[in-house]
Amino acid sequence: MEKRTLVLEAIAAKEAAYVPYSGFRVGAALLSKSGRIYRGCNIENAAYTPTNCAERTAFFKAVSEGEKEFLAIAITGDTDDYVYPCGVCRQVMAEFCDPEAFRIILAKNEDAYCSFSLGELLPGGFTAEDLKKVKKETK
Ligand code: THU
């Protein structure tokens, strides 16, 4: 799939953002290996901490539909700069995505975007492999 197609989906996803507190809209579009696209927007909350980022909304929608393998995500905001995923969202990506293969596409608009691998944006991410390394005597 063309990167631009995913960027256009992220721009459309941003329209549903619920941001009464920050006014900072974010849209994401997540491409699964099965070829489906899951849109996500940020959803804020009066208690602030329950706020969900656009990226995690897209991931949780997809995983709740049975998807567990992903190829790429496009992310966009309303600023003149790129909106990078927060640390929590990068960690959620690391749960499901290959650090070398998964692409994170950052879009200023439909004509200006760049992309990184997950490993570039989350070097040394914590994974299930780390859990297996616990020493027996500490159990
Ligand atoms: N936000 C996202 O949705 N994704 C990001 O990558 C950065 C931050 C949201 C959370 C909150 O609703 C608003 O942007 C301001 O932090």
Global confidence as pTM:
0.96
Give the tens place of pLDDT for each residue, 7-57: 999 999 999 999 999 999 999 999 999 999 999 999 999 999 999 999 999
Report how far ligand 1's centroid is from the alpha carbon of 6 (Å).
19
CA atoms of 73 and 93, how far apart (whole Å)? 9
- The encoded tokens of residue 40 equal 């996500």
Q: What is the pLDDT of residue 1?
A: 79
Question: pLDDT confidence of 137, banded at 50, 70, 90?
Answer: confident
Report how far ligand 1's centroid is from the alpha carbon of 116 (Å).
19
Please say if 55 is a catalytic residue. Answer: yes
Q: What is the pLDDT of residue 5?
A: 97
Q: Which one from 55, 95, 100, 120 is the annotated catalytic residue?
A: 55
Give the tens place of pLDDT for each residue, 110-129: 999 999 999 999 999 999 99
CA atoms of 92 and 32, how far apart (whole Å)? 15
Give the tens place of pLDDT for each residue, 60-111: 999 999 999 999 999 999 999 999 999 999 999 999 999 999 999 999 999 9
Residue 28: strand pairing partners: 40, 75
What is the 3 state secondary structure string of the chain?
CCHHHHHHHHHHHHHHCECCCCCCCEEEEEEECCCCEEEEECECCCCCCCCECHHHHHHHHHHHCCCCCEEEEEEEECCCCCCCCCHHHHHHHHHHCCCCCCEEEEEEECCEEEEEEHHHHCCCCCCHHHHCCCCHHHC
**Residue for token digits 């995983």?**
63
The verdict on the CB of residue 26 being under 6 Å from ligand 1 is yes
Report how far ligand 1's centroid is from the alpha carbon of 84 (Å).
9
